[in-house]
Amino acid sequence: QQQLRESGPGLLKPSETLSLTCTVSGDSISSRYYWGWIRQPPGKGLEWIGSVSYSGRPYYNPSRKSRVTLSVDTSKNQFSLKLNSVTAADTAVYYCVRQIVATLGIDYWGQGALVTVSS
């Protein structure tokens, strides 16, 4: 059974860097999927941040590209998100997800990690 679990700090100050890691269990991260991040501000909708392929190629939401870095660590079966220069607008639940390459459907989601940006 595929499982994804986010980990990282839940509270940041403005201008800091958000760093989250997703640990994948039940499958190899080298399998042919995209591994991505989606966020949801409190009471609002879903926003795709970016995804990284099984080969390590990143794909970014054009509106977030300047602040986002995605990476994969195959030795630990993990992938990571870094979002720099955070503001209160980056407060959200961050989900790590598995996205099927052939259909782009997102079939597995982590439980979500709430990250709050506050001074």
Partner 1 sequence: QAALTQPASVSGSPGQSITISCTGTSSDVGGYKFVSWYQQHPGKAPKLLIYEVSNRPSGVSNRFSGSKSGNTASLTISGLQAEDEAHYYCSSYGDNNNLGVFGGGTKLTVL
Rounded to a whole number of angstroms, the minimum distance from the CB of residue 85 to partner 1 is: 21
> Among 76, 86, 12, 16, which Cα is nearest to 49's?
86
Q: How far apart are CA 102 and CA 112, in angstroms?
A: 25
Nearest distance in Å: CB 62, partner 1: 7
Task: Give 75 or 104: the residue with its C-beta nearer to partner 1.
Answer: 104
CB of 102 to partner 1, least distance (A): 9
Residues that bind partner 1 in the complex, under the rule CB under 8 A = 34, 36, 38, 45-48, 51, 59, 61-62, 95, 99-100, 103-107, 109-112
For 83-104, b where at least 16 C-beta lie within 10 A, e where not — what string? beebeeebbbbbbbbbbeeeee
- Return the number of the residue (10 or 105) whose C-beta is nearest partner 1: 105
Instruction: For the sheet with 18-25, list strands across it.
Output: 3-7, 18-25, 78-83, 68-73
If the CB atoms of residues 75 and 103 are measured against partner 1, the closer one turns out to be: 103
Q: How far is the CB of 53 from partner 1 (least distance, A)?
A: 10
